[in-house]
Amino acid sequence: MAIAFWLVILVVCVVAEVHTNAFIALFIGFGAAIALVLAFSGVAFALQAILWLIISGVSLAALRPFAVRNFHRHLGTDLSRPAKSALTNLKGMVEVTVGDENHPGRVKIQGESWKAVTDWMEPIPVGAAIVVRKSYGTTLWVEPN
């Protein structure tokens, strides 16, 4: 049972890290990997859990700043700001009225629905044609086309 628990934690951490690149789930998953090895060794679950928390916390505190700094330097971009992406310049249609960052809407691009915001003064109404100008994570910055 403990082996299955740690495997689930590892899978969740991998999926979370792939979708966020925040370098938090990475270190929690690292602690879970160590706990998984301990589970295979027959160590008591309580000790596995305690060591998981300690290893995750220490590695998070000690290694995350280094990982984030080097990842951002390697990319050469500031991930805190929207940027051009593979979706840039694609055209679509507004599904839910798109406003500013406090009033996001939804757009459909190539059959997929995306969260969207605009820098335009007026909201973009349902049914309007849009073009993607930049993105941040899974949020698109769009303007009328």
| pLDDT tens for each residue of 76-97 | 445 456 667 788 999 999 999 9
Residue 124 has pLDDT above 50, yes or no: yes
- pTM exceeds 0.85 for this model: no
| pLDDT tens for each residue of 9-49 | 999 999 998 887 788 999 999 999 999 999 999 999 999 99
Residue-level pLDDT at 138 = 84
Residue-level pLDDT at 69 = 76
Instruction: Report all structural domains of the chain as residue ranges with CATH numbers, in order of start.
Output: 2-75 (no CATH), 91-144 (2.40.50.140)
Least confident piece of the model among 48-52, 65-69, 82-86, 135-139: 82-86
2-41 burial, b for 16+ CB within 10 Å, e for fewer?
Answer: beebbeebbeebeeebeeebebbbbbbbbbbbbbbebbee
